[in-house]
Homo-oligomer: A and B are copies of this chain.
Amino acid sequence: TKFGEYGGQYVPEVLMPAIEELQSAYERYVLENEDGFMDEFRRHLRDFGGRPTPLQRADALSERYDREVYLKREDLLHGGAHKLNNALGQVLLAKYMGKERIVAETGAGQHGTATAMAASYLDIDCEVFMGRTDINRQRPNVFRMRTHDAEVNPVDVGSGTLKEAINETMRDWATNVEDTHYVIGSVVGPHPFPKMVRDFQSVISEEAREQIRKKAGRLPDSVVACAGGGSNTMGAFHNFVDDAEPRSANRSSGHGPRDDESVSLFAVEAGGSGLTIDEDEGVAPHSASLSSGQDGVLHGARTKLLQSGDGQILESHSVSAGLDYSGVGPELAHLVETGRVTPVNVGDDAALEAFHRLSKLEGIIPALESSHAVAYLERAAQRAADGSSGHDQRDEADELGDLVIVNVSGRGDKDLDTVIEESAKRGIDAAPSMEVFE
């Protein structure tokens, strides 16, 4: 039940039997494809979800950064983000388990929407818990959930955001665990959730691995994905984690040789407005648990957390609501701890700039979450330029290598209002004028 020191099952006893039942169902249906579960899952992903999603060469970015940049287009998945991979898998599993009801938490509303979609598609009752603050700032996603006939239960305690919504969903689950499955929204929570969600999401890297081999003739030098809870991250990384095969000789032609021969994995966290924590206010101005969190236990698992010295969980902050979480998946914490994954972060402004850059140069409006991953390309290029006289920065930039896959985990339609407002407030140069409105 652990990834090294991370993971585990830190939940109330009342839930443990359900966790055991889930563990058993996970092993039978997901790992062993009992009753053809995985076949059915993949059929739904294809026919309902629109998989496979393309791996697109980003021509303008490739030119800009003088390396081959490929985009994994999870923004094209039904619902507009990678979230459906997991929601569909868990809702289907709930049906195989004979459950009659689904509960889910949601922050920005993406996971709630994906779960509501999957539940209406697979015909099972669905209730979503969402903080009052989030309900009011994410109205379109509330509309979508309601339109899919899901109940949306406002959570009024605390700051009324994701953390509280998870707490409240766990409470509902503890009350109704016998007929209810909790569709958790990321690679977090008690075992087997982190493994199971990762497995459902790993179709991203399964496809990407095959696609890059076909298009570029080899594995990538690096994979870049944003990390909040980490489900798109683990999905994009999973099938590359064990890759350490030699690359073709010419891979070092552009940027010099690297130390190791594996596929480098970069988890880009939300740097928010800075990494300094205000303990008195209980607030972190970022969501960079991997980069700056401390080990602790939250929502059922031991992982890296944003917390005070006492162990109280801090409120995280990011311009991207979907990255705004104080914890992170335990497997990512483990992969960072063991050096397999490199945690990096970019701040709000850089993410907003990347949002506009991709929209203008490639015709893709990325989710603000995904914009963090896109932004890291620019960061690496800037460092290479800044550090052309010094060796350290040069090496850092070169970690990306000549062939990079960036996971575009979702589309940014949902973020347009936020981006326009925040870009204007912060004076982001790349933002287009909206003077067309009188």
Contacts and interface: CB of A to CB of B under 8 A. Distances in A.
Interface string A388-403: 0000000000000000
Contacts of A144: 365, 413, 416
Contact of A50 (B76, B135, B419): B76
A57 to B, nearest CB: 7
A437 B136 contact: yes
Contacts of A434: 142-143, 146
B147 A359 contact: yes
A416 B120 contact: no
Interface stretch (A148-156, A229-237, A294-302): A148-156
B363 A146 contact: no
Contacts of A362: 120-121
Q: How large is the interface on A (under 10, 10 to 19, 20 to 34, 35 or more residues)?
A: 35 or more
Most buried by B among A117, A135, A365, A417: A365
A14 interface: no
A359 B147 CA distance: 6
Copies of this protein, total: 2
Contacts of A32: none
A429 to B, nearest CB: 13
Contact of A142 (B76, B132, B437): B437
Interface string A132-168: 1001100110111011110010100000000000000
Contacts of A18: none
A191 interface: no
A65 interface: no
A360 interface: yes
Interface string A240-283: 00000000000000000000000000000000000000000000
Contacts of A152: 436
Given A117-B363, A121-B362, A122-B363, 17 more contacts: A47-B56, A47-B57, A48-B56, A48-B363, A116-B363, A117-B364, A120-B363, A123-B361, A143-B417, A143-B434, A147-B359, A147-B365, A147-B416, A149-B359, A149-B432, A152-B436, A154-B436
Pick the 3 closest A-B CB pairs, nearest first: A121-B363, A50-B76, A117-B363
